[in-house]
Amino acid sequence: MLDLLLQANRLKVMPRTGWMIRGIVHPESVAAHSYGVAFLSLILAQAVDEPLDRARLLTIALLHDLPESHITDIPYPALRFIAPAAKRTAELNALNEILRAFPFGAEYRELWLDFEDRRTPEGRLVHDADRLEVLLQAFVYERSTGNRQLKEFWDSTSESYFEYPASRQLFAVLRQQREEEMTR
């Protein structure tokens, strides 16, 4: 169990590379982002009408970036050089090794795939939350650092990205507040 915890602990020193390549100095760690996704999933779920399994929801959020403790956070623009199947296989291989000693390994792998493939309502909501958390952080960096290179996160996201009306509504509010502050 200690090995598993030390492995997850590495997420605290993994920088989120999407910020890094755009010049954000000492950006948040993957662990801090994972916290953000889990918290955002928790709150967002309160605004969803559909019944949700909160235990499943939060477990998915806590697991969704675990393979990055081995693979690191390969930034999105790099993925056009790597076959998507190669990345998915690498992450599954890493997850298999991390969890191979545990009886709950199979369950966790299934939860990770739920997020990746948006299989269930919970996987879909964490997928929405993952994107909303990026935009929230982009807004926070834009107003605290003067970085001009985060605009593309906004340009590349539209309401249709999100599965839940609650996500779309939060996205709209966030985008509006960002526009108001940035043009002031």
Ranges within 11-70 binding its own copies (CB under 8 A): 11-15, 17, 20-26, 28-29, 31-32, 34-36, 38-40, 42-44, 46-47, 53-55, 58-59, 62, 70
**Residue appearing with tokens 């956070």:** 73
Among 84, 148, 155, 183, binds its own copies (CB under 8 A): 148
DSSP character at residue 22: T
Q: Which of 168, 174, 170 is nearest to 154 (CA)?
A: 174
Please report, for residues 62, 64, 143, the alpha-carbon distance to residue 42 in angstroms, rounded to integers and kept in the order given. 12, 15, 25
H/E run at residue 41:
helix 30-45
Q: Which residues inside 102-121 make contact with its own copies, applying CB under 8 A?
A: 102-104
Residue among 49, 51, 83, 155 that touches its own copies (CB under 8 A): 83
183 binding its own copies? (CB under 8 A): no
Which CB atom, from 14 or from 127, has the smaller least distance to its own copies?
Answer: 14
